[in-house]
Amino acid sequence: MHDGIGFMIGGGFGGIRTKPWAALALGLFAWVVAPAALAADCPGHPDALGTSRTLVVDPREHPRLGTMQYPETLPLADHEVVLTFDDGPLPRNSNQVLEILASQCVKATFFTIGRMAQASPEGVRKLRDAGHTIGTHTQDHPLSMDRMPIERARQEIDDGIASVKAALGDGADASLAPFLRIPGLRRADDVETYLAAQGIQIWSADFPADDWRHISSSRVYDLAMSRLEAKGKGILLLHDIQARTVSALPRILHELKVRGYHIVHVVPATPERLATSTEPEQWRLHPSSENVAIAHWPKIPNFVFADTGTLPAPSLSDFDWLDAQPIALAEPFDRSRRPAQGVPLPREAPWPRLSGLPPEQAAVTLPAPARSVFELPEGLRVALRSVPSARHAEQAGASEHQTQTRLVSGDGRDSRRAMHGKLHLGHGLARGRQHGKSRVAGRTPPPAAVPHRGPLKHLVQVRKRNV
């Protein structure tokens, strides 16, 4: 009964596309009706988790599912979960999984290995009789589908389908869903192309519980619930052949009910059963989370390089627009214009501007600074040319002698510094006397020796006061 309600509501009344507000209203109606239907369909288990609705998908419209590898996943609402099991049937564990699911009236999707179906055909028929969806998982479960030749990969796919159909017997075409999960999630472009051409939908997952690893059943439970909580909804990947999964499954189902999650059963569309009406954005999982370990499985690329040529470099014409009006870069700014939004115009450079833009593919010559840049003020030139008298030179020398004497006497740790000061003093006095004599004789000393005295005197006086 609940499957019919889920199909009628989810399918938009016979596949007729409804508006978003109408779809929301129908979804709310489904949540109200579902609990009563679930209680009636699970006799003896009034507190069962149950299956909230049935989702009908068209493999040709959405050929690849599962955000662990692909951009799209099932169009689930928040807190909706799809349970999937791989690698069976293995009677000693798979039968227990079926019993646990039946006790909670939960429907799931099983991806069956061909040789396992050959070894236990009654196990495949039990899946069908319990109302679960049956998909395939290749013939021998090779973990090299991404490396093997496409001819061998096609044989693995086709043989797996044939083996499961043989186990189902009469009515196999109607019982087997065109769903396939690649072993180890080892996707390859050629494999995906072949499956899409056959109308077979590829199922990855949104999060695994790592139950194929050698971990405890408690760890399987922890991973399943923490990763589900991180994404809020999605496809859970489990393995019905593992004893640890058998131990963890009752606790997982109980916790799903406690936390308000709902189980969704997925079936393929047929001519008599139209696909559930959905919007494109519903096929993308929001929000995604990096808490799920997804780096181990190869993903399809987000883009393809159609051309490896070099990108074009920008030209000067890309940067010479101002207020949608082209201007020459060498032109000065129009200072009569009012600056936009109070932005001041830049100051003009003191050197001449270029007359025009350089031709393309030609070397650009930088403008030479104008002569006026290096001109000094007139007063500064006179001060540098003024020559102090001989007395000033002698006083400067005497001051230098006193300063050097004080500095050396203040630091008696190095006698060589004192000797160096005396030699420097003698040299300075001799030059001062020679400078005085040249003034008396009416000769002008060389200009290179003159500017040294004014600043030196000032420096010595400052140092003398500081000492």
Spans of all domains in the chain: 2-283, 386-466
H-run or E-run covering 427: helix 415-440
The Cα 21–Cα 360 span in angstroms is: 61
Q: How much is the average pLDDT of 438-466?
A: 49
| Residue for token pair 């928040």 | 78
Using an 8 Å Cβ cutoff, are 67 and 20 in contact? no
- pLDDT higher for 404 or 125? 125
pLDDT digits (tens, 9 = 90+) for 160-215: 999 999 999 999 999 999 999 999 999 999 999 999 999 999 999 999 999 999 99
Res 81 pLDDT > 70: yes
Confidence band of 2 (pLDDT split at 50, 70, 90): very low
Report pTM.
0.58
Cα(first)–Cα(last) distance of the chain, in Å? Answer: 107
The Cα 439–Cα 432 span in angstroms is: 11
Show the tokens assigned to 434: 């020679």
Show the tokens assigned to 334: 């129009």
Beta strands per DSSP E along 142-226 = 176-180, 201-203, 207-208
pLDDT digits (tens, 9 = 90+) for 273-310: 999 999 999 998 764 454 555 555 666 665 454 555 55
* pLDDT for the residue 8: 32
Q: Which CATH number fits domain 2-283: 3.20.20.370, 2.60.40.1260, 3.40.50.300, 3.40.50.720?
A: 3.20.20.370
In terms of Cα–Cα distance, which of 150, 151, 143 is closest to 183? 143
- pLDDT higher for 9 or 147? 147
What's at 462, amino acid-wise?
V
Show the tokens assigned to 155: 């044989």
